[in-house]
Amino acid sequence: MKTVINKANRLPREIVMAGIDLRGLWPVDSVEQRIRDILQRMENVYVFEPDMICLPETFQTSWVKEERPTEEYAEDETVPGPVTSIIAEEARKQNCYIVCPLVTKSDGRYYNSAILLNREGKIDGVYHKAHLVSSEIEQNQLTPGTLEPPVFQTDFGKIGIQICYDANWFDCWDHLKKEGAEIICFPSQAPFINVLNHHAWINQAYILSSTGEGSRIIDMTGDEIAVSGQFERWVCEPVNLEKVLLHVWPYIRKVEDIRERYRDRVYVRIFHPENWITLESRDPGLKVMDILQEYEIPTYDGHLTRNQKVQDMYRG
């Protein structure tokens, strides 16, 4: 059993994320049974007081034997429908954000969506899956979403959402990175193991994955922080958003100075094969960007940008 983290002892940008998977809950006969099952599974993470929970893609209808036409189960994006209202009540009671993925309707169109519910159980926004499987369009009459997905401002930072098949393209992920997303929630049917690890480090974002087969929390370095399995069909762990990725050379020369000065106030990890460094603040009053400014160290992306400018000058 994981240790329950006292909120009073958390760092300012340390949050607890939870993902719920569907494995073992399918197939079922009805939507009502699926809702009961998912609510029961969600209860496992409440003891950890999560700040955010992500549910799997179209969790209420996937692998459900009862079949209904799209227009019967699609829910409004602004006025909570039956399923959204149930999950919204959980968000309100648990004082946490919940990513609620289901089919929505807007202006006569249907979308494979993820609704973001805030701590009060209100709708903060919605993401429409941009890269649909062709059968979703041709058989279920769903419409692809924009290639410039929204970034949502929460009380702990910026988050983005991608859904299942979106993992095969890079355009939306790149947009989320440019807009400053620090966490990307990934409701899905398929797990996309190595692909998500890549997306995490290339975008320097934590990924919270909740799928039909498993759930994971992935570090900004692409390493797994937590993964569900046969004993727990959910994940729930703290992550610290006061963390940054750096390039090793030539800044490795300054790492010992940083360690010597700040000691246990910072955590420095060197990824030797990758030539990476992560710098993480363990002090409520210390921000990693202040340290970088003090030592004149660019972020990993800043380092690449600097080199790109020089390359372009001499490319002919």
Same domain, 221 and 264: no
| 98 to 11, 12, 68, 89, 219: CA distances (angstroms) | 21, 20, 25, 10, 20
Tell whether 258 is covered by a domain. Answer: yes
Q: Of 217, 240, 263, at which residue does a domain stop?
A: 240
Please say whether the beta carbons of 163 and 112 come within 8 A: yes
Please say whether the beta carbons of 42 and 20 come within 8 A: yes
Tell whether 180 is covered by a domain. Answer: yes
Mean pLDDT within 34-50: 98
What is the model's pLDDT at position 3? 66
Q: Is the pLDDT of residue 146 over 80?
A: yes
Q: Is the pLDDT of residue 173 over 80?
A: yes
User: Which residues on adjacent β-strands are paired with residue 155?
Assistant: none
Domain extent for 192: 7-240
Same domain, 203 and 266: no
Q: Is the pLDDT of residue 190 over 90?
A: yes
The total number of structural domains that make up the chain? 2
Provide the pLDDT confidence category of residue 1 given band limits of 50, 70 and 90.
Answer: low
Provide the pLDDT confidence category of residue 154 given band limits of 50, 70 and 90.
Answer: very high
What CATH number is attached to the domain comprising 174? 3.60.110.10
Provide the pLDDT confidence category of residue 60 given band limits of 50, 70 and 90.
Answer: very high
Give the tens place of pLDDT for each residue, 213-227. Answer: 999 999 999 999 999
Give the tens place of pLDDT for each residue, 78-116. Answer: 999 999 999 999 999 999 999 999 999 999 999 999 999
On average, the pLDDT of the chain sits at 96
Tell whether 87 is covered by a domain. Answer: yes
Please say whether the beta carbons of 257 and 310 come within 8 A: no
User: Which residues on adjacent β-strands are paired with residue 112?
Assistant: 103
Take residue 176 and report the two structure tokens written for it: 């989320």
